[in-house]
Each structure stands twice: as structure tokens, then as C-alpha cells.
Amino acid sequence: MLWLKAFHVIAMVTWFAGLFYLPRLFVYHADTTDEPGLARFEVMERRLFKLMTIGALATIGLGVSMIVEAPGYLRMGWLHAKLGLVLLLIAYHVYCHRLMRDFAQRRNHKTAKWYRLFNEVPSLLLIAIVVLVVVKPF
Ligand code: HEM
């Protein structure tokens, strides 16, 4: 179980590296107008999104493996709340893909300021999820 948990946390770190950096790229992308710059951001975002998705799938897979190994987890309130927040995280991840596609099709109308606010969401979810799983308040 401890090996699963260790790699679960490692995978979570790689997922969050992408969740923090991809919206940051969107901030700069929204202010870019020159063709070489636009093309460079598209390549960077596409590659980062792939790595981020591998991190997400590994985090979820290892998390589910721990539940399969110890089904008693499913009776714990903190895990119910955690999984609710993880669903929000997955929705955020999927929405990033849509935004990335809008940029690639030159259909982005959101401002750099909007992306700066959007970039704060993963930090709030990270704090809430880690407090739930480490402190287990209920
Ligand atoms: C479907 C997704 C997920 C499932 C099913 C899941 C499930 C679990 C389970 C069963 C544990 C073991 C808890 C324990 O024994 O103390 C655990 C540990 C942990 N999870 Fe997740 N998790 C998921 C996603 C995440 C995400 C997105 C994060 C990141 C914010 C995260 C962060 C952690 C941390 C930091 C631990 C270690 C806690 C400790 O050692 O006290 N998990 N997870």
C-alpha cells in the first residue's frame, strides 16, 4: 500500500506541475500577436497537456488501486469530499483542453487578466484536497 501511496503522491505532483503551468502559458499566449510566438505557444501547450494527462491518469489509477486494496476507504467522509474536489479538478483539466483548442483555432477571446484568475483555481483545490487527505477532518 505504501508504494502505491508514494507513487500516487509523485503522480499528483506531476499533474499539478501542468495544472499550474498550462494556464500560465495561456496568460502570455493571450497577449501574443506575432505568428512565430503564437505557433510556439501552441506547441508548448500541446506537449505540456500530454504530460499533464499522463500525471492525471497515474494519480487517479493509483488512487483507485489503493481503494481496491482497502475498500474500507469508501466509508470515509474525507474521501467522499476529496473525490468531489477531484471531479472539479478533472473538469478544470478538460476545460484547459478546450481553451487550448480555442487558442490553436485562433478563437480565444479571453483576456490575460481572465487567465490570471483562472490560474488560481488549482492552488485552492490542492490546498483543500491535501488538507482532507492528510488531516482527515471527518
Ligand atoms: C480519483 C482520484 C483519487 C483517489 C481515488 C485518491 C485516493 C487516495 C487514497 C485512498 C489515499 C490513501 C489515504 C491514506 O491512507 O492516508 C490517498 C492518499 C493521498 N492522496 Fe489521493 N486520491 C485521488 C486523487 C488525489 C489528488 C488529485 C491529490 C492531490 C491533490 C491527492 C493527494 C493525496 C495525498 C497527498 C495522499 C497521501 C496522504 C497521506 O499519506 O497522509 N489524491 N489518495
pLDDT, mean of residues 90-119: 97
Which residue among 88, 133, 136 is best mutated to probe the pocket of ligand 1, counting the most ligand atoms within 8 A of its Cβ? 133
What ranges do the domains of the chain cover? 2-135
- pLDDT above 70: percentage of residues in the chain: 100
Question: Given 3-state DSSP classes, what are the helix, strand and coil percentages for the chain, each rounded to the nearest 5?
Answer: 85, 0, 15
Question: pLDDT digit string (tens) for 24-69?
Answer: 999 999 999 999 999 999 999 999 999 999 999 999 999 999 999 9
pLDDT of residue 126: 98
CA atoms of 118 and 86, how far apart (whole Å): 17
SS3 assignment, position 109: coil
Contacts of range 129-134, beta carbons closer than 8 Å, 24 or more positions apart: 129/82, 129/85, 129/86, 129/89, 132/78, 132/81, 132/82, 132/85, 133/78, 133/79, 133/82
Q: Ligand 1 centre and the CA of 9: distance in Å?
A: 7
Which residue in 17, 5, 30 sits closest to 106, CA to CA? 30
- pLDDT above 90: percentage of residues in the chain: 100
Dihedral (CA of 137, 128, 79, 9) sign: negative
Residues with a CB atom less than 6 Å from ligand 1: 5, 8-9, 12, 59-60, 63-64, 66-67, 73, 83, 86, 89, 126, 129-130, 133-134
- pTM assigned to the model: 0.93
Nearest CA to ligand 1 atom 9: 63
